[in-house]
Structures are given as C-alpha cells and as structure tokens.
Amino acid sequence: MRISLEGVERIAAGVPGKSLTDYLEHGRTLSEFLEDFPSVTSAEAIAAIEEARTSLTATLK
C-alpha cells in the first residue's frame, strides 16, 4: 500500500511530508527518519501519518 502525505506539506520547519513517505516506502523505520531529521519530533511525525490516514479514509468512503 502506498502512503500519501500530499495534504501534509511540512512536518516541521524545512522537512517536507514527502520525506517521511519516501523513508517508509523504502522500508526504513520511523526511528531512522527521526534520527536523520532531528528537527522533527516523534509526535509531529505520528501526527502527519495520522493526518494522511484520515485523508485516505475519507477519500475511500
């Protein structure tokens, strides 16, 4: 399944939402993403994933 964060332009200052989806699509973990992007908190990344999930769920209804 492909995850889309199209509606999430930025997770944190200077970090596009696409960066997170790229990591996840290539089998990297959330922990790896957070290590490589220290300006993003775990809560911000999880909120971005939740927002994408909500958007996807609404689209599929």
Region 12-27: what's the mean pLDDT?
Answer: 86
Q: Say whether pLDDT at 7 is over 70.
A: no
Contact between residue 40 and residue 12 where contact means Cβ atoms under 8 Å apart = yes
Q: Say whether pLDDT at 41 is over 90.
A: yes
Q: Report the mean per-residue pLDDT for the chain.
A: 82
- Computed from CA positions of residues 45, 49, 16, 22, in that sequence, does the dihedral angle turn out positive or negative? positive
Question: What residues does each domain of the chain span?
Answer: 10-60
Q: 45, 44, 53: which is closest to 4 by C-alpha? A: 53
Region 12-25: what's the mean pLDDT?
Answer: 85
Q: Tell me the whole-structure pTM to 2 decimals.
A: 0.75
Region 8-31: what's the mean pLDDT?
Answer: 85
pLDDT for the residue numbered 46: 92
